[in-house]
Structure 1
């Protein structure tokens, strides 16, 4: 078995070190590391294993000159998002950086205040050769970033499925199936009036989750009722949306929310109306955000492994950049239901719930 040792404890390992350790020319080492077809597979594997064992890392500027790539993946965070990406950003970045680092790539993160700033930053990063490709988080159904990067002939991958997604690379979670499953669980408990609070219609995920809600109703034999559907993008807006649902002549006995942040607003509205979550009103969220874990009773929700998502997006984008001739890569994974005390059998019919709420509003005791 061939033995190699890490060279010069505190010095940078060079191709010369590898050449000396393996008794191969520096040219052979370089061509093996860069995957040239004239190098045998056995030699390539031998060189790569030695490079890993000795801690070799190529100089990024030398690679940029040779390959025309900076070996950097970019992510532009839009600070104007209502939640500033809080539900998933930390875990997502951890997975992304880990996957990129394993392949010898780096991550460039920029922030923008407006959509125009985002487009300008992406253009500048491409023109200055500081990024080889972009991950587009939380894509919109009609996302201007897609057209901008296509015009720049720059690889990208979407976290989500925008319109015409079949023609591009994406990674997504099957939130339609999650919403349909949620309706099924509520229907199995006896709920027949199930409200839905979705997010802004500009987001691609908003369309998928609303479609899942409607699919779940159909599977449960319930007709969609437009008055049971509201939209919100913040906790405060969700409080108002939930209050509007509870003022209906036949209010829902359960409310399904597109995100956990929106579910927290339903909790607030229920408390203001004197309703007990899980008994008087059932609630299911989506994201398994930290807020959900702190809510009481614990919110029933769907968990998304954002660390795994970041890692998958990083690997998929690197493959897209290094193998541009390959067709778009696409991956959809399921969300995992996390039960909680926020759901139960309905204590009242919609009509009885309306009467109960009316008496409370009138200040009557019962």
Structure 2
């Protein structure tokens, strides 16, 4: 049967058959389908064919059908809402990726007629309380967990409650895999760090430093591993003196970079695990009289907007934060609708954005040390 999608639907005498708010039974009658079939199609059940689901969704859009949220919650046990809790006390809470990420997640949820809820917490302990409260008050059917830790209590909590969730990142670095049933979406930061080292090696650098992030986060270890893999692939030794960790802010980046530059043989290039730390170092080094891209080469990671406006523009590996938000919301809703969590895992790549902050070494490591001594 082919549906007539004019609105409002009319009977053979031309009289409107739908008035006011479109109800489920009116939508079903208009399509010539049972209420159960229409309901299951709108809720994404896998036993409904894609063709039928597309037909029902199109009719619902044209007719302006919207389910009553409280009625749907009673019928399906779902409120058609996903949520994310942000720790407002994190030192880099205002990371510019957040706006694009949330825009992507909200857009994906909205396109499926779901709601995205954003809440804040003031500590890791408070985050667990907020997650529990949102679920117990039936304000969310599942959660996106950003910035995963090596040992992440949020995962244990939601698993114990049987609540669907998806990680933005991976977890359990160096530990037995206790989360084999967990969904995740991540960017291969380790590949980006490896490629950053190889890029610098190809330019002629042999003393390449690394400034990592907080080791409590899983991504910090993966990116450090990528740096080490890059050195190995380039045939360069791994020198522990050239590695600093714990930089999450511009101030951290400047401080950790100064430690590397104070070495007897400082690096002629530094790879940073985050753009914020890289930008902090660049500004500090320039204040000391160094020329970024000539005296010292710098590569970051994230692709935040400030990289384009820095002088020189920062070479970085860019993450499409909006696309990440879209994928996480979509995969989570698929999980809530019944797909196996372990089947919902995706790993994407970061894209190199070339700036002017890296180039062939203009000074040797010893010459760089002498210049630093002269400047100080």
TM-score range, shorter chain: over 0.9
Q: Which residue of 1 aligns with 2:294?
A: 279
Give 1:166 deviation, angstroms: 4.5
Say if 1:39 and 1:118 are closer, same or farther in 2 by CA, change over 3 A. closer
* Alignment pair present for 1:176 and 2:177: no
Say if 1:276 and 1:27 are closer, same or farther in 2 by CA, change over 3 A. closer
Q: Which residue of 1 aligns with 2:265?
A: 250
Q: Which residue of 2 aligns with 1:336?
A: 351
Q: Which residue of 1 aligns with 2:6?
A: 5
- 1:120 corresponds to which of 123, 129, 132: 129
* Equivalent residues of 1:87, 1:287 under 8 A apart: no
Q: Which residue of 2 aligns with 1:72?
A: 81
Unaligned runs of 5+ in 1: 362-366
Say if 1:242 and 1:23 are closer, same or farther in 2 by CA, change over 3 A. closer
Query: 2: distance between equivalents of 1:93 and 1:114?
Result: 20
Partner-residue secondary structure (3-state), 1:276:
coil
* Equivalent residues of 2:180, 2:342 under 8 A apart: no
Give 1:142 deviation, angstroms: 0.8
Give 1:357 deviation, angstroms: 1.4
Within 5 Å, give how 1:1-366 maps onto structure 2: 2-7=3-8, 11-23=20-32, 26=35, 29-30=38-39, 33-34=42-43, 45-163=54-172, 164=177, 166-231=180-245, 232-323=247-338, 325=340, 327-361=342-376
Give 1:327 deviation, angstroms: 3.3
CA RMSD in angstroms, aligned pairs only: 2.3
Query: Would you say how many aligned residue pairs link Structure 1 and Structure 2?
Result: 361
- Tell me the TM-score normalised to structure 2 length: 0.90
Query: 2: distance between equivalents of 1:210 and 1:35?
Result: 41
Query: 2: distance between equivalents of 1:284 and 1:39?
Result: 49
Give 1:256 deviation, angstroms: 0.6
Q: Which residue of 2 aligns with 1:364?
A: none
Query: 2: distance between equivalents of 1:104 and 1:196?
Result: 44
Query: 1: distance between equivalents of 2:275 and 2:50?
Result: 50
Give 1:146 deviation, angstroms: 0.6
Say if 1:186 and 1:67 are closer, same or farther in 2 by CA, change over 3 A. same
Say if 1:69 and 1:2 are closer, same or farther in 2 by CA, change over 3 A. closer
Give 1:104 deviation, angstroms: 1.5
Give 1:59 deviation, angstroms: 1.2
Query: 2: distance between equivalents of 1:10 and 1:254?
Result: 69
